């Protein structure tokens, strides 16, 4: 009898341990599901959200560079241009850092890199053209002052006819005097040379050489003005190119942001589906544990009753 009672007690203990084990397994299943979800969410956060932030920052910094380059077209002297150069240099450091960080994270990394290098080359060319523009302006003003000095010298010599001729020659480059002149108009060298040559018999050879050097020589008003016109045409082309860069960066980065957002949503939907599956599995485990608990409780109660009857 005592042996039978010990056997029942052993069975009760075994059932209790089994019930505890199932409870532990149920809890571990829930913890594992939560840990898996946490890991998957962390992977999404690290892989996609970080990329999304970097792309958004790249868009902002590149836009700042393009805005600064747009402001360069409005600069009136080298000092103003230099401020924009400093601003662009600072933004370029950020862009370089972000593009390096995006390597391998985006499907259009090479396109972004090519765009970045193209933008840098465009800005370098723009800065070079603008600096050349300011240099030409200084040279043109120096030549213009020399031409005015020659004209005034004729007036001091009471040579009214030569004074009028010089004034007509200067009018080729003065939009105030000559209302027909346009900023990007080519210099009419033929008409200018004809005007100067018409006075060849009335001028000393040395004076004629000086006038030709001032108006039509290698570093004259005509050559400087023509170089200024040509350079302005290049600057205008760069202005249009600047607008194209803005469109290219916006379209590329918007497309990249859209791609990253789509990947995030797809991944989160996949995680949500997986969580739903694990949730169902977890409920099934809990249901089994509850049923098993009820069964074990009934068995234990039956064993306890039998033990009490034996006593």
Mean pLDDT of the chain: 76
What's the CATH code of the domain at 64? 1.20.58.920
Containing structural domain, residue 281: 2-307
For the chain, the domain total comes to 1
To 10 degrees, what angle do helices 160-171 and 205-215 make?
A: 20
Query: Which tens digits make up the pLDDT trace of 112-158?
Result: 788 888 889 999 999 999 999 999 989 888 888 888 887 888 777 77
Of residues 186, 198, 254, the one with CA closest to residue 222: 186
Query: Which tens digits make up the pLDDT trace of 2-31?
Result: 554 556 556 656 666 666 676 666 666 666
What pTM was estimated for this model as a whole? 0.67
SS3 of 164, please?
Answer: helix
Q: Which one of 37-46, 97-106, 271-280, 299-308 scores highest in mean pLDDT?
A: 97-106
Q: Which one of 111-120, 165-174, 205-214 scores highest in mean pLDDT?
A: 111-120
* 133-147, 190-204, 206-220: least confident range: 190-204
The answer to whether 220 and 19 have CB atoms below 8 angstroms apart is no
Higher-confidence residue of 11 and 51: namely 51
193/216 Cα distance (integer angstroms): 7
What are the φ/ψ torsions at residue 186 (nearest 5 degrees)?
-70, 150
């Amino acid at each position: 009898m005592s042996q039978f009672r010990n056997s029942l007690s052993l069975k009760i203990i075994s059932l209790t341990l089994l019930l505890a084990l199932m409870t532990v397994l149920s809890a571990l299943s829930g913890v594992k599901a939560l840990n898996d979800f946490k890991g998957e969410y962390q992977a999404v956060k690290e892989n996609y959200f970080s990329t999304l932030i970097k792309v958004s920052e790249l868009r902002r910094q590149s836009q700042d560079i393009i805005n600064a380059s747009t402001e360069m077209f409005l600069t009136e002297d080298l000092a103003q241009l230099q401020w924009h150069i400093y601003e662009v240099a600072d933004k370029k450091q950020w862009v370089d850092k972000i593009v390096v960080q995006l390597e391998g994270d985006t499907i259009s990394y090479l396109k972004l890199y090519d765009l970045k290098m193209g933008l840098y080359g465009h800005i370098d060319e723009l800065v070079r053209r603008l600096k050349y523009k300011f240099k030409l302006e200084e040279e043109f003003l120096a030549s213009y002052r020399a031409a005015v000095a020659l004209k005034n010298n004729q007036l001091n010599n009471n040579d009214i006819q030569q004074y009028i001729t010089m004034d007509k020659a200067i009018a080729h480059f003065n939009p105030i005097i000559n209302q027909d002149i346009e900023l990007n108009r080519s210099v009419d060298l033929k008409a200018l040379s004809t005007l100067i040559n018409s006075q060849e018999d009335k001028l000393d050879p040395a004076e004629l050489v000086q006038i030709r050097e001032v108006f039509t020589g290698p570093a004259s008003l005509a050559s400087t003005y023509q170089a200024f016109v040509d350079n302005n045409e290049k600057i205008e082309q760069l202005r249009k190119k600047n607008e194209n860069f803005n469109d290219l960066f916006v379209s590329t980065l918007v497309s990249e942001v859209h791609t990253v957002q789509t990947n995030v949503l797809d991944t989160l939907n996949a995680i949500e589906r997986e969580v739903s599956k694990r949730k169902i599995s977890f409920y099934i485990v809990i249901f089994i544990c509850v049923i098993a608990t009820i069964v074990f409780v009934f068995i234990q109660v039956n064993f306890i009753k039998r033990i009490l009857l034996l006593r």
